[in-house]
Amino acid sequence: MAIVAPENLLLVKFVLILIFFIHLPFVGVMIGGSAVSMLFEIYGRLERRPHYRRFADQLLARTTHNKGLALLIALAVALNLLFLQAAYPPAGLSPRFALAVLLPLTAGLAGIYLYRYLLPTRLAAPLAFPLGLASVGAMLLAYFVLLCGAALLLRPDEWPHLSGQPWLLLSWNGAAKFLQFFALSLAVSGAGILLHGANLCRRPKVDADFCRFVKRSGATLALAAVLAWPLILLFDLYTLPVFARSGYLYILSAVALVIGLATAGLLLTSLENPRAKLAAPVIVCCLTLFLGWILSDHLAREQTLNEQTIAAKELMRSAFIAKQPAETPAAAIEGDKTPAVDQGKTVFERVCSACHHFDRRVVGPALQEVLPGYAGNLEGLKAFIRDPQKRNPDYPPMPKLGLAEEEIDAVARYLLRTIGD
Ligand code: HEC
């Protein structure tokens, strides 16, 4: 896709979020619904439980009732890839990456429909079950690759090396995003099953036993997923690269946790009181969690890929390269001639100025606002530069800079002197 004009970039990103939001819950239900259906079908046959098999058949029929849906999903994912590329062209997600997503996805989608077709035949046990499980696995693989790609967008330093080392695509953060997708998919699927059960119970000639069984299964599945999800969210935040973090992201995550808790509360109520009509609110909550997840993913990308952060990283890298010869003896002798404060100024200009100006916010806060807090506290300032701690939720954390002890001393003295300490 051609490079997008800057004034259209906002629109492109908006559409990107929209595509994510529209297709992820659908795929989630497709994957979650068919996986649950297969497990119940197999278990129902082994244990000869008619309820289980009836439930499994209904569930499969629901998730695959529309062949157009599979096409739409494949189309949405292809669009998703195009828009990712258009919104973040420097990342250069390659055609090979697109294939690694689209091939398993289409194979998986086709496999699930084939499974449905084979299930009532005598081939069910030898052919249909392995095929069905492999199809769900293939779809999960497609999303694993896609979400690892999304996580890779947060590590621009690795983009240039990717073509020679495709395994760089894998990361803990990618795995965390995939687990979030999986947990949320099971939650929406459970919520959908709960709704289906509620509809069954409302029919005139109800099999009360069966419809309650369906509702209970849905609520239990969704509850397990919603309870496991906060741990995965924390894992995601923990593995997020430093530059991707921001105050907004933490706030959004906190709101999502509250919604997750509320959803768990609704599900518990519906398990205890089967008459409660909570399926619709549970679905809304699960969709909100999906939306929250997609938005935080977007925030993390924007935080990482904004021009200032990239420029800062560039500068840090060149500062790192420039530092190498400074450690040779010749440079050390030259360094002796210059007073420490001058050296401090040099360090400041070389390293800190990428992220700090005195009078205005850049990546980090304006120094005239934070330095007075260190007046008379040279050691405190040195300790912070040596090992920066998270301070202000409005900013990403300051990274460890790996400066030599004399450089830290020099820059701290220089800064405190400039504020007249
Ligand atoms: C890559 C960007 C970056 C670089 C380079 C950088 N900083 Fe920071 N700095 C930050 C960010 C972001 C914060 C805000 C951290 C927070 O509030 O958690 C910060 C915060 C600070 C603070 C305020 C601490 C507080 O108590 O609130 C001081 C002082 C500081 N930096 C000094 C320096 C010095 C000195 C250097 C150079 C040796 C430097 N920084 C290099 C990004 C950077």
- Contact (Cβ atoms closer than 8 angstroms) between residue 87 and residue 118: no
Q: What is the pLDDT of residue 337?
A: 44
Please say whether the dihedral angle defined by the alpha carbons of residues 238, 244, 246 and 251, taken in this order, is positive or negative: negative
- Report d(CA 305, CA 322) in Å as an integer: 24
At position 254, the amino acid (one-letter code) is: A
Calpha distance 231→42 (Å, rounded): 30
| 10-residue stretch averages of pLDDT, the chain, 421 residues long | 67 86 88 90 85 86 83 88 78 78 92 88 83 93 89 76 73 91 93 88 82 88 94 91 83 93 92 84 92 90 71 60 47 47 82 82 84 88 90 81 88 84 52
Cβ density class 12-36: b for 16+ within 10 Å, e for less:
bbeebbebbeebbbbbbbbbbbbbb
Residue 356 Cα to ligand 1 middle (Å): 7
Best residue among 249, 349, 355 to mutate for probing ligand 1's pocket (most ligand atoms within 8 Å of CB) is 355
The pLDDT tens digits for 71-96 are: 888 898 888 888 888 777 766 667 88
So what's the pLDDT on residue 361?
80
Q: How many C-beta atoms lie closer than 10 Å to residue 63's C-beta? A: 23
The CA 258 to ligand 1 mean position distance, Å, reads 31
Residue 275 tokens read as: 């008459």
Ligand 1 site residues (CB inside 6 A) read 312, 316, 351-352, 354-356, 363-365, 370, 373, 384-385, 390-392, 395-399, 401, 411, 415
Atom of ligand 1 nearest to the CA of 412: 35
In sequence order, the 6+-apart residues with CB closer than 8 A to the CB of 142 are 77, 101, 102, 103, 104, 105, 108
Closest Cα partner for 197 from 227, 224, 222, 228?
222
* Mutate which of 356, 377, 395 for ligand 1 pocket (most atoms within 8 A of beta carbon): 356
Q: What's residue 303's pLDDT?
A: 81
pLDDT score of 227: 94
What's the gap in Å between 388 CA and the centre of ligand 1?
7
Distances (CA, A) of 7 to 3, 20, 405: 12, 22, 46
**CB neighbour list of residue 107: distance below 8 Å, 6 or more residues apart:** 135, 138
364 alpha carbon – ligand 1 mean position (Å): 5
CA-nearest of 255, 309, 366, 283 to 90 is: 309
- Exposed/middle/buried for 324, CB within 10 Å: 0-12, 13-18, 19+? exposed
CA–CA distance, 350 with 342 (Å, rounded to integer) = 12
219-243 burial: b if 16+ Cβ within 10 Å, else e? bebbbbbbbebbebbebbbebbbeb
The confidence score (pLDDT) of residue 358 equals: 83
Q: State the pLDDT at residue 334.
A: 44
Q: Which of 314, 313, 329 is nearest to 396 (CA)?
A: 313
CA of 319 from ligand 1 middle (Å) equals 16
Are 289 and 187 contacting, i.e. CB atoms less than 8 angstroms apart?
yes
